[in-house]
Structure 1
Amino acid sequence: MFRTRTTRRLALAAGLMALLPAAAQAADALDAIRQRGKILVAIDVSHPPYGMLDGKAQETGSDVDTARLLAKDLGVGLEIVPVSGANRVPFLLSGKADIVIASFSITEERKRVVDYSKPYGVIPVVIAAPESEKIEKPEDLAGKSVAVARGTTADIELTKALKPVSGATIVRYEDEATTNTAVATGQQAILAAALSTANSVRDANPGKKLAVKITMNAYPMAVGLRKKDPELKAWVDGWVDTNLKNGKLNEIYQKYFGQSLPAEMTH
């Protein structure tokens, strides 16, 4: 009897010990970043004005400024992990990045696999075309092709909008830069993208005379996190609250988008 009880106790203890590493792993993301002395942030540096390279090949943009502010407040260095719209989530889930700050809109599809911080911005998603094109609704795109970056919210919304439209073609490119180049070089005339991207392509290519024709949706923007990192999410949520209230996140938004965040976000 004594041996049986002892054996059971040892087995129970062994089972509890086996659970400890997983529990510790779930709780240690924030501590691991602090001990490492830097945070790995996934940013798409080919997606102006969110991420881009300046004349000295240095990273800049609203996402870069946001990541720098977060790292500073956390008291660690910043390492930018370059990503595209399509591989932001895989890089996060594989551990190549601790968080995602890459014009990361909140969608129901992404919620199934990743967690989000509280929103700190908004991203309108539009369809832009030459001024001469008569496009007022998705049905007007019948027989036309539309360029979009794969895996972005623009891709999601465009797919929904054109599903019932016969003869409309979606041409997907692997990243924002390639998509924008396709429009700039005349391979594509119509673009689905975030409003800021559409405006950037318009300004860089005045001869194309692009104009926003349809606003498909407006997404809240947040920091992307792994579901197994609740302590890190709690810290980032608090950081978002603090920097919305003190105006620092609004300053970044105004700098790159020329307008303030919605009033309900800053109060």
Structure 2
Amino acid sequence: MNIRNLTLAALTAVGLVAAAGASADTLGDIRERGAINVGIDLGQAPFGMVDGSMKQVGSDVETAKALAEGLGVKLNVVTVAPANRIPFLMTGKVDVVVASFSITEERKKQVDFSKPYAVSEVVVATTGGLALSGPADLAGRQVAVTRASTNDSLITDALKADNVDASIVRYDDNAMTTNAVLSGQQDVYVVAQSLLVPINEANPSRKIEPQFVLRTYPLAVGLRKNEPELKAWLDTWVTENLANGKLNGIYETFHHAKLPDVIPDA
């Protein structure tokens, strides 16, 4: 390669690095386009789902609608799954993600988050009217949980921390764990509270009722890094719509529970 080509290559490399670190203007692009492309997981009831009329519904769907309305643009829903939420953001297939997207330190290395607009709570739940107030009440009981899940780790750590002698019964997936509890094999279930809504609607004669919260995960709008204008707009929008009760109303409609008075940042 001659000196001229080396110089051009070096300048190109510098330009690419500078572009990667520069602020983008997705907010301006959205307004100019007149539409926002939002990634939503429609397989995660009650956050996102398709009802019997093939209508997209759920708390994240309604949140995205309200977000688009706040921007004064059309909403385009792009279906995402947990594994492709970040790739879809990074490749520009979506402008933002509103898909039960919890804030974690690992994810913050790749993407940015708005202020949290909702929560996902891991609870200890029971059937048959069994009342529990904390981990100590699990002594001598069998506790159903999905193997190798976050819920598994949380209950294992909680029992160990309080030196509680309980038996953890692990199943290979959520469906198997739910069926075990509904069939009476165990009457204690460690589960995301959001999952109880569709489970109880489908099984009204054997409701699984939350007893106490193990962990609260904040959920936020995901966006690409280096988007200061969009992040500022989202943060203001979340703050205003938590204060006026709109986001709580959406959450309560689909989750049958109120948002905490204070939503943790992480």
TM over 0.5: yes
- Name the CA shift for 1:127/1:256 in 2 (closer, same or farther; >3 Å): same
Distance (whole Å) between structure 2 residues aligned to residue 243 and residue 216 of structure 1: 27
Q: Does 1:161 align with 2:155?
A: yes
Range moving further from structure 2, 231-240 or 107-116: 107-116
Distance (whole Å) between structure 1 residues aligned to residue 120 and residue 198 of structure 2: 14
* RMSD of aligned residue pairs (Cα, Å): 4.0
Distance (whole Å) between structure 2 residues aligned to residue 255 and residue 229 of structure 1: 32
Q: Does 1:121 align with 2:115?
A: no
Q: CA deviation at 1:63?
A: 0.7
Q: Deviations over 1:225-265 (max 9, x none)?
A: 22233322112112112222333223323333345434456
Distance (whole Å) between structure 2 residues aligned to residue 48 and residue 75 of structure 1: 27
User: Match for 1:63 among 36, 52, 60?
Assistant: 60
SS in 2 for 1:215: strand
The residue aligned with 1:106 is 103
Aligned residues of 2:143 and 2:168 also touching (Cα < 8 A): yes
The residue aligned with 2:216 is 218
The residue aligned with 2:4 is none
SS in 2 for 1:27: coil
Q: Does 1:81 align with 2:78?
A: yes
State the AA in 1 paired with 2:204.
P
- Name the CA shift for 1:198/1:20 in 2 (closer, same or farther; >3 Å): same
- Name the CA shift for 1:80/1:264 in 2 (closer, same or farther; >3 Å): same
Distance (whole Å) between structure 2 residues aligned to residue 141 and residue 116 of structure 1: 42
Distance (whole Å) between structure 1 residues aligned to residue 19 and residue 105 of structure 2: 31
Aligned residues of 1:183 and 1:191 also touching (Cα < 8 A): no
Q: CA deviation at 1:69?
A: 0.9
State the AA in 1 paired with 2:112.
D
Q: CA deviation at 1:217?
A: 1.0
- Name the CA shift for 1:170/1:32 in 2 (closer, same or farther; >3 Å): farther
The residue aligned with 2:128 is 131
User: Match for 2:94 among 94, 97, 102?
Assistant: 97
User: Match for 2:225 among 211, 227, 230?
Assistant: 227
Distance (whole Å) between structure 1 residues aligned to residue 249 and residue 68 of structure 2: 17
TM-score, normalised with respect to structure 2: 0.72
Q: CA deviation at 1:182?
A: 5.5
**Mapping of residues 1-267 of structure 1, within 5 Å:** 17-23=15-21, 26-131=23-128, 137=135, 145-147=144-146, 155-162=149-156, 168=168, 170-171=170-171, 173=173, 191-264=189-262
| Number of residue-to-residue matches in the alignment | 252
Distance (whole Å) between structure 2 residues aligned to residue 105 and residue 30 of structure 1: 22
Aligned residues of 2:116 and 2:219 also touching (Cα < 8 A): yes
Distance (whole Å) between structure 1 residues aligned to residue 172 and residue 223 of structure 2: 26
- Name the CA shift for 1:86/1:144 in 2 (closer, same or farther; >3 Å): farther
Distance (whole Å) between structure 2 residues aligned to residue 123 and residue 199 of structure 1: 13
TM-score, normalised with respect to structure 1: 0.71
**Mind listing any 5+ residue stretches in structure 1 that lack a counterpart?**
1-9
Distance (whole Å) between structure 2 residues aligned to residue 179 and residue 263 of structure 1: 34
Q: CA deviation at 1:59?
A: 0.4
